[in-house]
Each structure stands twice: as structure tokens, then as C-alpha cells.
Amino acid sequence: MSYLLGLTGSIGMGKSTTAALFADRGCLVWDADSTVHHAYGPKGVAVGAIAKIAASAVGSNGVNRDQLRQLISKDPTLLPQIEAIIHPIVQQNRQDFIASNPNLILVFDIPLLFELNSEAAFDAVACVLAPSATQKARVMERPGMTEAHFTMINGKQLPTTVKAARADYIIDTTSSETATTSVEFVLKDIKRKLENA
């Protein structure tokens, strides 16, 4: 049996960097965003179904996510239809990943893990945290990011305090040193639990 660790956190909190730290220490990482990206890409498994409900967002390169976001902003009823297509695809991909990698510590990078109430699918959940000023500074460095867009994304996510309260582990990503120390503590604790199981 593999040990399934969910990894989550709000935008700009350092989740991708933390996932890389786990990977560097021998864990296999499954990335929800990457799975969606492939499903939306050329010949992706979601493209045909999305073309039926949002044809103008689909072209030769698959689904144009910016165009899709614009359509959803104009027609809120579109979002649940998109989710009904993409969520089962993502779920199946995750199950396949678990089945293909037995007896390992597997890390699941899922931005909206708590928002989707998915924590029961994992043996434990780690939440990345950094000060709000650090978070905002990181996000505002991203190409094309505006203050309004950051506020909108942040508003759709659960408050950091709620995520922290629901998590089994907190990973402090204020600096690379604090993140490394936190990841190593988490892995040490998981290995201790596995040895005592």
C-alpha cells in the first residue's frame, strides 16, 4: 500500500516549490493542474465533450483556457457542465497513478483539495503557508497578473486559517530553508508512522 499525501494551499503560497522538494526526496508527485492541462491539450480526452458545450473555446490546439474562462464569466451555468466533464477524468487519472505506483509515498498536488472536500481520499494532508504579503508579492510577479485577478482567485479559495486548521501538516514556505525543514519533518513523521503500522 502506498501512503497518499495531499498537498494543498492557496495561490502564491509555494505549493509547486514544495512539491519539487518532495520529488527531490524520492516521492512521486501527481499534479492536478497538469492532468487538466493534458486533458485540454491537442487530442486531450476532454476536448470533444467541451467542444459540444463551448465550441468557441476549442481549436486545433485543444481547449483555450482563457477563452473558456471568458465564456464562464458570461454564463455561470457553464462551469458545472465543465466540472462534470473534467472531474471524472482527473479522478480516473489519479486512481491510475495510485495503482501504477504501489508501496511508495505519493504526493498529490491539488490546489482546491479542501474546497472540493477531497481530504478523505488521502492518508494525510499538508498545507503550504506563507505570510499574506509574501503570497501577494509572489503572485503579482506572474506574467499578466493584476490586483483584481489576484483578489478574484483568492476570493474563490477557502481562507488560509480554515485550510491550516483542517490540515495534518503545515509547511512554512516563507523561505527555502523553512520549506525544506518542514518537508523533511513531514517525511520523517510519515516514515515513522509506516514503520509503526
Altogether, the residues listed in the chain come to a count of 197
Whether 103 shows a pLDDT value over 90: the answer reads no
Contact status, residue 4 vs residue 121, Cβ threshold 8 Å: yes
CA neighbor of 127 nearest in space, from 12, 3, 15: 15
Q: Measured between alpha carbons, how far is 131 from 87 in angstroms, rounded to an integer?
A: 31
pLDDT tens digits, residue range 35-63?
A: 999 999 998 999 999 999 999 999 999 99
Round to whole Å and give the CA distance between 133 and 126.
Answer: 21
pTM beyond 0.85: the answer is yes
Cβ atoms of 129 and 170 within 8 Å: the answer is: yes
pLDDT-derived band at 93, boundaries 50, 70, 90: very high
Q: Mapping DSSP to helix (H, G, I), strand (E, B) and coil, where does residue 35 land?
A: helix
Rounded to an integer, what distance in angstroms lies between the CA atom of residue 110 and that of residue 32? 5
pLDDT at 155: 83
Give pLDDT tens digits for 59-89.
999 999 889 988 988 898 998 999 999 999 9
With residue 58 as reference, give the H or E element that holds it: strand 58-59
Report how far residue 82's alpha carbon sits from residue 98's, in angstroms, rounded to the nearest whole number: 25
Q: Dihedral of CA 144/149/154/157: which sign?
A: negative
Structural domains in the chain, sorted by start: 1-27+104-197 (3.40.50.300), 33-103 (no CATH)
Give strand pairing partners of 169: 126
Residue 197, pLDDT > 80, answer no
Indicate the residue type of 150.
Answer: F
**In the prediction, which pLDDT does 146 show?**
87
Q: What is the pLDDT of residue 166?
A: 96
**For range 96-117, the mean pLDDT:** 93
Chain segment 14-41, per-residue pLDDT in tens: 999 999 999 999 999 999 999 999 999 9
pLDDT (0 to 100) of residue 135: 92
E strands in 115-160: 124-129
**Among candidates 4, 2, 10, 30, which has minimal Cα distance to 114?**
10
Structure confidence by residue, pLDDT tens digits, 148-183:
888 888 888 899 999 999 999 999 999 999 999 999
Per-residue cell: 22: 518532495
Instruction: Supply the pLDDT for residue 149.
Output: 84
Q: State the Cα–Cα distance between residues 46 and 62, nearest whole angstrom.
A: 9
**Which amino acid is it at 117?**
N
